[in-house]
Structure 1
Amino acid sequence: MRTQTQTTDKTPDKPAYRILRPRELPLDQIHSSDLPRDRLNLKGQEGSEEMEELKASLRLRGQRTPVTVCRDAQDCYQLVSGWRRLTALQQLAQEQGEAAPMITARLTGLKEARIELYIDMVESNLLHKALSFGEMAQLALTAAADPELQELGVEEVVSRLYGSLHKMKRSYIRSFIHLLQVLGDTVQYPERISRNQGVAVSRRLKNAPETAEDLRDNLRVCDSGSMQGAVFAQYLLSFREASAKSTAKERQFKVGNTHITGRVGECVIRADVDFSSLRTEVLSRALRAFERIVQAG
């Protein structure tokens, strides 16, 4: 139950509670074409073992938890939250040949803010079944692209949708958002990306954006979540291998009392000399001579 604050010139702030009383509605009047679903791979869930378990529960005990609906611009009922319950009841009605099936639903206010509908959907799934970070990130991007919410921006949408989550989880969601923004639709199974892998890939993409195109090419051929995970794993491994090679390419030697350490793109000179006290012209001549000899081989 969410509290809201109403302010007038004459009265102090008072909490107003949204009380959505259940009602019986014809099942075939509930549509799910308005809001995008926060759950991905809906087709896969329609015939899943979890769906069969939900249907078995509905057969034995009936519908105990109402779905939430709203009215759209055409005055039709649109689903806000409860996609699994709606789908299970639709399947049961078809299997049992029920002529006029009904569904228990709560109707939101007629002028409910668009963002509130998204929040209702998210909170329902966060309470009943955890969303993956990929699903949460994808929904935030979809909501931010909603014509009625575009002015909010992705950052504000994340804060609104997932305000009840710990700030660290919101940080993970933002990492996944960056990953999806960079890689686009080449990520075919965002719900299958683990938290640690997704955050690590996102960090690498931020630090090495030039690697994104090759990663997109490799992701395009993935035909399963496990193959996608293997591509991400190889991508992260390539950075560790490059780092190991860079560390391995090191040479140390001594010239007189001067110690030299040579690495890829780096030469460290340690000597009992206060280099900061030397005149710039002296150091410049020394470095030019050094460059000439190194380039000449």
Structure 2
Amino acid sequence: MAKRKRLSPAQPTYLSTAPESKSALGGPGTLSAPPIAQVASEAASEGALQELTAVLETARAKGLMIEEIPLSAIDETHLVRDRLEQDEEEMGALVGSLRSRGQQTPIEVVQLGAEAAGGKTHGLISGWRRLTAMRRLFAETNDPAFATVKALVIHPDGAEGAYVAMVEENEIRVNLSHYERARIAVRALREGVYSSQKYALQSLFANATRAKRSKIGSFVTLVEALDEDLLFPTAIREKLGLGLVRAFAQDPGFATEVVTALRATPRSGPEEEQALLSQLLAVHDGAVEQASVPDEAGTPAPTPQTSTPDPAPAPRVRSLDPADSIGADERVSLQAAAGVRLGFTPGQQRIELTGTAVDSTLMEDLKAWLRSR
């Protein structure tokens, strides 16, 4: 009869350690994952990294990624700004908010290419107030936390898109005056961004009502006539501005009278400038009204500016575009040369030359040219 073999008790630590195996070099080591598993893991990691990189590149290309850019690398003069002045009280409140809460809203910039100079790598599109406040904070505190600014790097469709982005952002955040709106249209035209003033107004203020665009277009006349002589242009009320435009259309010489008065009168605040402009307009309107009063024979007295008693309609002002035809009721205005601005109203058969270069030498040159014409 065969002898039975006694079974040994189970080893409690049998499953607690993995058996030794040969390593890749032939020595003892732990079990490694199968090669196919390693390949799959590496492929998955590489795929995830590529997908993340693509997402980041797409976000950056669309201007959706907030980046931190050194203050010294931003050129705030990249575009002609549409804000003429900054309320110091509002700026102080903004500085206080940035000091206590940090920058909550990024500015918008565009990356500069060949035009970059002086270490400036980005041009400012919108956010001038925030950039200015951050620079003040850094100058006051020298805190590295204020040495950079959060920014969205956008990619506008050319210069027109950049100006539209600036105007739209400021229309949302700040209450621009009609004068500031008209001025940016004039400046953008002079920079060669737009081919005509009409196109500039339609492009920059595409979301505005037709009535609002018409008022901005009227203020273009003030910008072209008085921009160099007004000290507080943003304070001009809508009614006063439109009244001055109407008076300029009735009597082009009135603009010269206003310029002369502005240059001869010191003004310490917007109230004094407004009072001066209102007084000049009242005197002009009074003279026009007096000239239109019938005489004893019942016939209106003739005015020195026109052969008819009725005031001429306000001409629509735009800069000359050779591709457009000039209407009889339009007043063309353009920079003819350095220091010389030319105005032309076909319906009134009138050409005006204004500017610092209009002197006796220019008059003699014009006389010689007209004789040989």
TM class, shorter-chain normalised? 0.7 to 0.9
The answer to whether residue 300 in structure 2 is matched with residue 233 in structure 1 is no
- Determine helix, strand or coil for the equivalent of 2:298: strand
The residue that corresponds to 2:355 in the other structure is none
Query: Would you say the 8 A contact 1:68–1:108 is kept in 2?
Result: yes
The residue that corresponds to 2:10 in the other structure is none
The answer to whether residue 91 in structure 2 is matched with residue 51 in structure 1 is yes
State the alpha-carbon separation in 2 of the partners of residues 181 and 116 from structure 1: 24
State the alpha-carbon separation in 2 of the partners of residues 174 and 222 from structure 1: 29
RMSD of the TM alignment (CA)? 2.3
The answer to whether residue 149 in structure 2 is matched with residue 103 in structure 1 is yes
Aligned with residue 146 of structure 1, among 191, 200, 212? 191
Shift of residue 82 of structure 1? 0.2
Query: Would you say the 8 A contact 1:180–1:187 is kept in 2?
Result: no
State the alpha-carbon separation in 1 of the partners of residues 62 and 236 from structure 2: 36
Give CA-to-partner distance per residue, 1:178-225, whole Å, 9 cap, x none.
122133412332212111111110111011112221111011234342
Q: Which runs of 5+ in 1 are unaligned?
A: 1-16, 252-259, 267-297
The answer to whether residue 169 in structure 2 is matched with residue 124 in structure 1 is yes
Shift of residue 80 of structure 1? 0.7
The residue that corresponds to 2:135 in the other structure is 90
Provide closer, same or farther for how the CA distance between residues 243 and 154 of structure 1 changes in structure 2, counting only shifts above 3 A: closer
Query: Would you say the 8 A contact 2:63–2:152 is kept in 1?
Result: no
Structure with greater Cα Rg: 2
Aligned with residue 243 of structure 2, among 200, 206, 225? 200
Alignment of 1:1-297 (within 5 A): 18-42=62-86, 45=87, 48-72=88-112, 73-75=114-116, 76-99=121-144, 101-109=147-155, 112-147=157-192, 149-150=193-194, 152-220=195-263, 221-223=265-267, 224-246=269-291, 250-251=295-296, 261-265=298-302
State the alpha-carbon separation in 2 of the partners of residues 209 and 56 from structure 1: 48
State the alpha-carbon separation in 2 of the partners of residues 209 and 198 from structure 1: 15
Query: Would you say the 8 A contact 2:293–2:301 is kept in 1?
Result: no
The residue that corresponds to 2:340 in the other structure is none
Give CA-to-partner distance per residue, 1:264-290, whole Å, 9 cap, x none.
249xxxxxxxxxxxxxxxxxxxxxxxx
- Percent identical across equivalent pairs? 29
Partner amino acid, structure 2, of 1:195:
E
TM (norm. structure 2) is 0.58
State the alpha-carbon separation in 1 of the partners of residues 214 and 179 from structure 2: 13
Shift of residue 116 of structure 1? 0.9
Partner amino acid, structure 2, of 1:36:
V
Shift of residue 90 of structure 1? 1.0
Query: Would you say the 8 A contact 1:24–1:102 is kept in 2?
Result: yes
Partner amino acid, structure 2, of 1:261:
G
Which gives a bigger RCO, structure 1 or 2 (Cα 8 Å, sep 6+)? 1
State the alpha-carbon separation in 2 of the partners of residues 18 and 145 from structure 1: 30
Give CA-to-partner distance per residue, 1:54-85, whole Å, 9 cap, x none.
11111222111100001223442111100100
Partner amino acid, structure 2, of 1:64:
Q
Q: Which runs of 5+ in 2 are unaligned?
A: 1-60, 304-373
Provide closer, same or farther for how the CA distance between residues 154 and 49 of structure 1 changes in structure 2, counting only shifts above 3 A: same
State the alpha-carbon separation in 1 of the partners of residues 141 and 255 from structure 2: 51
State the alpha-carbon separation in 2 of the partners of residues 167 and 125 from structure 1: 19
More helix by share: 1
State the alpha-carbon separation in 1 of the partners of residues 178 and 62 from structure 2: 28
State the alpha-carbon separation in 1 of the partners of residues 302 and 189 from structure 2: 43
- Determine helix, strand or coil for the equivalent of 1:186: coil
Q: Which stretch shifts more, 96-105 or 167-176?
A: 96-105
The residue that corresponds to 2:46 in the other structure is none
State the alpha-carbon separation in 2 of the partners of residues 222 and 168 from structure 1: 35
Shift of residue 240 of structure 1? 3.2
Q: How many residues align?
A: 235
TM (norm. structure 1) is 0.72
State the alpha-carbon separation in 2 of the partners of residues 74 and 265 from structure 1: 58
Partner amino acid, structure 1, of 2:220:
I
State the alpha-carbon separation in 2 of the partners of residues 86 and 206 from structure 1: 41
State the alpha-carbon separation in 1 of the partners of residues 151 and 280 from structure 2: 46
